[in-house]
Amino acid sequence: MAHFTLLRRPLTQLLLVASTFLVVLPAPLAQAAKATLHMRIENADRTATIYKRDPLKRQRRSVIIVLHGNAGNVGKVHHSLDIDRYVGDSGVTLVYPQAIRGKWSLTNDTDVEFVHDLTERLIRNGTAKPNHIFIAGVSTGGMLALRLACQYPQSYVGAAAVLANLPTAAGATCKPKHSIPLMLVNATNDAEVPYKGGPTKKLDYVGSVLSTEETLAPFAAANGCTGPMVARLGPIGKSKLRASFETYKSCKVPVQLIKIINGTHVIPGRHIGRRGKLANGAGSGVMAAHRIFSFSQRLR
């Protein structure tokens, strides 16, 4: 049985000195229970960290599986993405799998099968509601999330990838047999994962990726999208960052792209440093964690 430890966080508040109004920002999990799930996969010990509220309530819940990025770990993505602050009282459980030595295996199926086995374990052990598991990832974790959406679309209510395109080899065989909602958040000046495709740089995954357009294509086909993408431009922000919100028309389920124009390989709205300073969020107006959580909730 997993051992839970209660973590208490204060409600984040912002006092506007120039007025008499008190603005309350979305709060992180006020009472989050943390547990570690241990698994044995292909003669290797694998783990996933689970965060949930009200652990004594033993009902099944909606789950978001979050895959960390390049050379990362659970702690890094838990802090930098900080999707917790949007969970609130929604009852959503967050699950963070850990890659071996921080590196996802993207050239074979080892980690695809690990995360898929984890998905099925969460249903068997009563953690997750069937058909209520959302998969999301950042950077190389986003690539893995895309591969899972290709190979096991029926296992997830939806998927999201941030700063990620499909690895070229995986993209050649990506033909989802089931429709799956997808949101992609990519930056046009990303040198590590090129927006227009090509060789990756400074990543654990050494290889090439498809372009963002090519990455979206098999999911648009599986989701029956017949119309073109419709774009809505956000305002120009700091460092000339600008978001373009693009959606395929006439789809059975949504396929969406948030394009960060002039953005680099930095999570939009990520928290950096001990004080939680935001990066890219103020410039593009996009908070990746909020977009992921909101997209997942519309699919419940």
Q: Assess if residue 10 is contained within a domain.
A: no
Q: What percent of the chain lies above the pLDDT cut of 70?
A: 84
**pLDDT at residue 235 in the model:** 87
Q: Assess if residue 281 is contained within a domain.
A: yes
Could you please report the per-residue DSSP string of 87-107? TTTS-PEEEEE--GGG----S
CA nearest neighbour of 80 among 91, 95, 69, 65? 69
**pTM of the predicted protein model:** 0.86
Q: Where is 26: in which H helix or E strand? A: none
Helix 212-222 with 140-151: angle, nearest 10 deg: 30
Q: How many domains does the chain have?
A: 1
Q: What percent of the chain lies above the pLDDT cut of 90?
A: 69
Q: Assess if residue 2 is contained within a domain.
A: no
Which of residues 58 and 220 earns the better pLDDT score? 220
pLDDT, tens only, 215-265: 999 999 999 998 889 999 998 887 789 999 999 989 999 999 999 999 999
CATH of the domain at 56: 3.40.50.1820
Q: Assess if residue 24 is contained within a domain.
A: no
Considering the chain, what is the average pLDDT of its residues?
Answer: 86
Q: Assess if residue 6 is contained within a domain.
A: no
Read off the pLDDT band of 25 (50, 70, 90): very low
Q: Assess if residue 27 is contained within a domain.
A: no
Q: Assess if residue 26 is contained within a domain.
A: no
Burial, 173: exposed, middle or buried (Cβ in 10 Å; 0-12, 13-18, 19+)? Answer: exposed
113: which 2 tokens?
Answer: 């099968």
Q: Assess if residue 7 is contained within a domain.
A: no
Which residues form the domain of 137? 32-298
**Amino acid, res. 225:** C
Q: In the predicted model, is pLDDT for residue 2 greater than 90?
A: no
